[in-house]
Structure 1
Amino acid sequence: MDALNRSEVYQLPPVDALLKVGAALESYDTRLAFFRANQKLFEPFVRPGQTLEQSFEAFNRDSIHLILPDTDKKDSLSAYVKLEMTYPKGIDGVAILNGFVDYAVRVERKQISADLDVIVKNRINELKGRFDSARSNYEVEKEAKIASLRENDALKRAQLQDELRALRSQLKALRNDRIAQLNEAIGIAKSLGIQKPTTPSSLGESRNAGANSVMRTEVNNQQVPLFFMGVEALNAELVALKQRKSDDFTDPRVAQIAKELQLLASNREVEVLNARENEDIFLAGVQPLRAEMARLSSLNIDMAGLKLVTVDQQALEPLVAASPNRLLVVLLGLLGGAVLALCIALLRSAIVASRDIIKERSPGSQVSRLNARGHIGELPDQQHSIQPIQK
């Protein structure tokens, strides 16, 4: 029973085990099952014309009794139950009583084993349910994380594409503005006759051309108007701008956006999450559940050797019959005979006395006649004696 209690699944203190066995000994179903399983032992209890259940009812009511300790007594050293059986001569009462105790212990041991199996299965199912719940939570969290990553990628991709379209529109607008500026500058340069690139000072001196050649260096902080580039240079730039198919190369941000869009084409974190094969190893907080499930699955308790109670004394053949008590029968017989004899004597005496009284009071009896005759004989004498006195 120590192994059963150490399993931490089924707790059975010795007192509870004794109560369970006592309840089995007192159980009507247990007694009836033992009665049916051992009908040869109970053949003398079966009465003609009665069913098996009726014969058992009489046996259960009159022959076998369970005695519990008196709870008011404080000097009891240990808890116990006692089973007594009264049976007529010729019946193997020892075999019945010892067999019934063993049968009740086996029945209760089998019931405890069944209860233990049910508890273990329920605990394992409960742990599996918690494990499945943890797996479901993990799958939900995983799907939520993948959805969040994809949503963030989609949002960032949309933002980059919007930025790219806006940037391209801006570059196109800048190119058109540049074309307009070039057209205007070409018109001014043609009107001034500037074919080659020049400077404002060079343009002024070219009109006052002389024999001397002079080299000048001009330094100023003002931007030189575009038409000073000359018609040839401006036309060359204008033709190039009109033939341009794309303005993406003019801004490095376009290349940066293209790079980021290329990176967003595939999310490696999502691929890794989807490529997981054994996802149970990633479950959080399930290691104690695995350990408990493994322990319960490998739980092996020898229920056949489970000792629920200790039989302090086996039933033995009694040396003296419980009934009848011969000495008591003799004493009661003597006492009854004396009382009966006394009653008979008193009754006879009363009858004789009543007869005598009846005879004395009867008018036709001999005593009454004698008394009557005596009175008649004495009457003349009395009269005779009275007459002389009167004279």
Structure 2
Amino acid sequence: MHGTIEQAGEASLREAREKANSMRLEDFDPGHPELFQTDTHWPYFDRLRKEDPVHYCKDSMFGPYWSVTKYNDIMAVDTNHGVFSSAAALGGITIRDAPPDLRRESFIAMDQPRHSAQRKTVAPMFTPDNLDELAINIRKRSASCLDNLPRNEVFDFVDTVAIELTTQMLAVLFDFPWEDRRKLTRWSDVATTLPGPGGLVATDEERMAELNECAGYFAKLWKERASGPPRNDLLSLMAHNDATRNMDPKNFLGNLILLIVGGNDTTRNTMTGSLYALHRHPDQYRKLRENPALLDTFVPEVIRWQTPLAHMRRTALADTEIGGKKIRKGEKVVMWYVSGNRDDEVIEKPYDFIIDRARPRTHISFGFGIHRCVGMRLAELQLKIIWEEIFKRFDRIEVVDEPKRVYSSFIKGYETLPVRIAA
């Protein structure tokens, strides 16, 4: 069974490589979501890094855009927030421009000085002392989740483990009503999905209706937190801070969605990706079982290998130049983290999954500069603890079929991953 599945994957990748190598570069549209859903985007980025590292696509489902594909060029854009804007009003942080009436400011889709003022309000949640406290909670919930997994039957790892654990974590961070916690998962998925027939939502209007429900639910909680004494949860931190206590409704919803998606999508897809990576590299699985101390380097290597957010986007505030290409003011610039993390000029053997890399943190999955992921240490902690707890219980969790991937060139994730645990 496995041989057949993996051979099918290799055949589609071979086909994609032939297609990518025979196409004219000017016809490349590396941001098409189908390439990510089929996991065939790799050859396109390989060729761009070699032949056209700063590439202009003049026509796509998202309009024209520049692709920045090499690690050092991405770093140059990500750290130059004076020239490359994240502002929601200019289109925000994804390749897809939100329709003007749906644009919501959040501190990730905001420039200085307001960005840092709002970001600082939630930073206390991720201090070392607070992470130590959260670790106790994460371990207890991970143990409970794993103890209740079925034996000798196929189940979906994404829903049963990855979504459940990250949704529980979000509910703790927001002090959100426990029985309603799956609403957080739904709102996260709705916020990042591409509307269309057969998708989670058919139209932007439908999406907005669900996100307004999210805003209404949180507004009630906000009122409670704002009128009570300060507490240690994300809502209370924002409700009691001058930079965020008087946010307009769009900014309020924008920051909520940012924190929900940041705490949900990225961690759950890396958690699933960690199991899939070990399945694809059984030698590394053995190495990790024999030496669990390697979890410290395994975690950042998984985050690089998976790259849970494929890209971040900026808008040029002035005419500028990257890699010898002239970028005009107002043009869309997409930093492909997924490509930077496979750049062999910076990362040795980037396609290999090596859990004891000498410099495993040389990756760009969390972004860089002022917008670097505020919760990255928490994401690493969750991943480390779940594997410590898995190793206490199971020899292995067997992947029985290929994952179904998300139709998105922003969220690089999994819809399902069928697995089984032997009795």
Structure showing greater radius of gyration is 1
Q: TM-score, normalised by structure 2?
A: 0.17
User: By percentage of residues, which structure has more strand?
Assistant: 2
* TM, length-normalised to structure 1: 0.18
